[in-house]
């Protein structure tokens, strides 16, 4: 199986907020998406404090981050737990329908929980949109931009973590034309194999 194919999927970067009783909690998630005209879902790791809080409060908000978001937001919300710190202490927010929305976001969506789906590691929370608005002009940040331009990393809890961790023993080949990385032994591919990006044949790949 060539896991690098997963790198071809697109995501944004979001702060998912909810309530722990009266206290605001939340974390970064890239795995959030609209699934019907008024329904969204977000995938949250079982170990994230935010997970149990969404289960109890039965609502969540998604603040959509822009490319010029304050540099402290992703480290604060993505690499710390609400078990240990108050992530909202130094983050400007506005309360909408009881949930904290980051004022430094391009927009937000508020959802009431309508379903949950368990996987081995993550709960996929499904929510019906009850409110939402555009907040400021900026290009919404993509996960790709976060990695390639901001040079950001993702922790283990991110569903996409595996895509970024290639064991040092993994053999990989790089396409000399477009830079596409093939993880695994490309020599085992049939002669008809072509790079999925630039369509050049196997001879254009060099071992890295
Ligand atoms: C770029 C990025 C993307 C992330 N995506 C997700 C995600 O989609 N789902 C998830 O559960 N955690 C994701 N995380 C990890 C959580 O944000 C992180 O584990 C956080 O510390 C959990 O905080 P909490 O314990 O307060 O809930 C991501 C982190 C980063 C930096």
Range of the domain at 120: 11-162
- 61: region left, alpha or beta (phi > 0 left; psi from -120 to 50 alpha): beta
Side-chain half-sphere CA neighbours of 81 within 13 A: 13
What pLDDT is stored for residue 208 in this prediction? 84
Domain count, the chain: 2
Pocket of ligand 1 (CB under 6 A): 13, 25, 27-31, 43-45, 48-50, 74, 77-83, 122, 146, 152, 154-155, 157-159
pLDDT averages per 10-residue partition of the chain, 208 residues: 89 98 97 97 98 98 97 93 95 97 98 98 98 97 92 86 58 83 88 84 91
Asked if residue 147 and residue 52 are part of one domain, the reply reads yes
Asked if residue 134 and residue 83 are part of one domain, the reply reads yes
- Does this model's pTM top 0.85? My answer is no
4 in any annotated domain: no
Radius of gyration of the chain (CA): 19
Q: What CATH number is associated with residue 200?
A: 2.20.28.10
Residue 9 to residues 33, 92, 100, 105, 160, Cα–Cα distance (Å): 12, 31, 29, 23, 10
Asked if residue 196 and residue 93 are part of one domain, the reply reads no
**Distance from the alpha carbon of residue 7 to the mean position of ligand 1, in angstroms:** 18
Asked if residue 191 and residue 94 are part of one domain, the reply reads no
Nearest residue to 103 via CA among 139, 133, 142: 133
Asked if residue 196 and residue 141 are part of one domain, the reply reads no
1 in any annotated domain: no
pLDDT tens readout for residues 129-188: 999 999 999 999 999 999 888 888 888 889 888 555 445 567 889 888 777 788 888 998
Asked if residue 95 and residue 38 are part of one domain, the reply reads yes
Asked if residue 174 and residue 122 are part of one domain, the reply reads no
**Distance from the alpha carbon of residue 78 to the mean position of ligand 1, in angstroms:** 5
29 in any annotated domain: yes
Nearest CA to ligand 1 atom 11: 44
What pLDDT is stored for residue 91 in this prediction? 95
């Amino acid at each position: 199986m060539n896991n690098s194919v997963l790198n071809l999927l697109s995501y944004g970067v979001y702060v998912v907020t909810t309530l722990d009783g009266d206290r605001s909690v939340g974390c970064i998630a890239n795995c959030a998406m609209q699934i019907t005209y008024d329904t969204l879902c977000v995938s949250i790791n079982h170990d994230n404090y935010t997970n149990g809080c969404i289960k109890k409060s039965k609502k969540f908000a998604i603040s959509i981050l822009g490319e010029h978001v304050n540099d402290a937001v992703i480290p604060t919300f993505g690499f710390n737990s609400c078990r240990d710190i108050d992530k909202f202490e130094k983050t400007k927010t506005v309360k909408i329908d009881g949930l904290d929305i980051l004022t430094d976001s391009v927009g937000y969506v508020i959802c009431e929980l309508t379903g949950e789906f368990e996987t081995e590691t993550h709960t996929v929370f499904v929510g019906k949109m009850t409110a939402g608005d555009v907040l400021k002009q900026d290009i919404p940040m993509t996960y790709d931009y976060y990695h390639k331009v901001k040079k950001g990393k993702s922790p283990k809890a991110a569903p996409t973590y595996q895509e970024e961790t290639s064991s040092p023993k993994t053999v990989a080949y790089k396409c000399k034309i477009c830079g596409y990385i093939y993880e695994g032994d490309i020599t085992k591919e049939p002669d008809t194999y072509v790079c999925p990006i630039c369509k050049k044949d196997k001879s254009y790949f060099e071992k890295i």
